Amino acid sequence: MSYNLAIFTKDGEPDGDLLRALEEEGLTYALVAELDEVTKEHQAALIDLSVSPQRDVPPLGQRCQELSIPLLCALTPRNMTRYDHSWGATDFFLLPPRAGEVTARIRQATRQGTAQNGEKVLEAGGLRIDLERYEVFNHGRRVQLTFKEYQLLCLLASSPGRVFSRETLLHQIWEYDYFGGTRTVDVHIRRLRSKVEDPGQTYIETVWNVGYRFREQPATGGGGA
């Protein structure tokens, strides 16, 4: 399926590599500078935060919520560390996107579970991540996570099957100069696993000598508070 996108360009033209990637995926798009130009004719909206300020995201997110369409943020590795789900975006991807990634993320966003009150929810297997309340449930049981553990889980779960190196995780969650080094990533991953995984249930896989990835698995319903 090909999607028609609205790309918000009030504060800057989107990255040329991003536009070429969209064209290669067969996606059509319109560059819009005003919120009311985003309409129900669009299946999704996109904002490139390598050229647009984050202040543009909340009003655009509100507009997309009114239209019941997803909003994707294109991020650089540097501004990934400042990304906040409370801005109102549905999902994000890093520049440059992998082949087919934007289409896959739009498809995933339209299939994600949505709570009755409109909260954004990411579900995988028995895991349920409430992106607005910063809450995590595993088969209906609430899981208490630190903020760094939550950030790690959201980053990994938002890209099932994608391998993140320890260096990438350290850079995106802790930034460049965190004194603990990559061992800090291993410690937090181990703690995260102990909290969200049960015997016989694996969400986070180790890719030896590289890093970690979130295991792809079928979504399940339920899992509320």
pLDDT digits (tens, 9 = 90+) for 91-124: 888 888 888 888 888 887 776 534 334 457 888 8
How far is it, in rounded angstroms, from Cα 52 to Cα 178? 27
**What mean pLDDT comes out for the span 20-44?**
93
CA 200 vs CA 40, 132, 144, 193, 196: distances in Å: 43, 29, 21, 12, 12
Domain range for residue 188?
114-225
Domain count, the chain: 2
Same-domain check for residues 23 and 99: yes
Whether residues 217 and 128 fall in one domain = yes
- From start to end of the chain, where are the E strands? 4-8, 28-32, 44-48, 71-75, 91-94, 121-124, 127-130, 135-138, 141-143, 163-165, 204-207, 211-214
Closest CA to 207 of 176, 171, 161: 161
Same domain for 224 and 118: yes
**Which of 216, 207, 215, 214 minimizes the C-alpha distance to 165?**
207
pLDDT digits (tens, 9 = 90+) for 124-161: 878 888 887 788 998 888 899 888 898 899 889 888 88
102 and 118 co-located in one domain: no
Whether residue 107 is found in the same domain as residue 118: no
Q: What is the mean pLDDT of the chain?
A: 83
Strand pairing class (211-214; 163-165) = antiparallel
- Mark whether 107 and 14 lie in a shared domain: yes
CB atoms within 10 A of CB 126: 19
Q: What is the pLDDT of residue 148?
A: 85
What confidence score (pLDDT) does residue 196 get?
92
Question: Among the ranges 78-82, 109-113, 176-180, which has the highest mean pLDDT value?
Answer: 78-82
**Nearest Cα residue to 80 out of 179, 30, 151:** 151
Single out the residue in 84, 111, 138 at which a domain terminates. 111
**Out of 26-40, 44-58, 147-161, which region has the weakest mean confidence (pLDDT)?**
147-161
- Please report the pLDDT score of residue 159 as a whole number: 82
Rg (CA), the chain: 17
Residues 6+ apart with CB under 8 A from 127: 136, 137, 138, 157, 196, 203, 223
pLDDT band at 22 (very low <50, low <70, confident <90, very high): very high
Percent of the chain with pLDDT over 70: 87
Q: What's the average model confidence in pLDDT over 172-199?
A: 80
Residue with tokens 């696993």: 193
Whether 164 shows a pLDDT value over 60: the answer reads yes
Are residue 104 and residue 137 in the same domain, yes or no?
no
Looking at the fold, whether 155 and 215 belong to one and the same domain comes out as yes
Reported as a single tens digit per residue, the pLDDT across 215-225 is 886 544 444 43
Q: Domain check: are 93 and 125 in the same one?
A: no
pLDDT of residue 188: 92
Give the CA dihedral 45, 48, 211, 105, nearest 10 degrees: 10
Same domain flag for 55 and 128 = no
Q: Are residues 68 and 15 in the same domain?
A: yes
Residue 1 has a pLDDT of 61
- Structure confidence at residue 203 as a pLDDT band (50, 70, 90): very high
CATH code at position 1:
3.40.50.2300
- Which residue, 67, 96, 111, sits at the end of a domain? 111
Which of the listed residues 111, 146, 174 is the one where a domain comes to its end? 111
Q: Supply the CATH number for residue 192's domain.
A: 1.10.10.10
pLDDT category of residue 7 using cuts at 50, 70 and 90: very high
Task: Say whether both 93 and 151 belong to one domain.
Answer: no
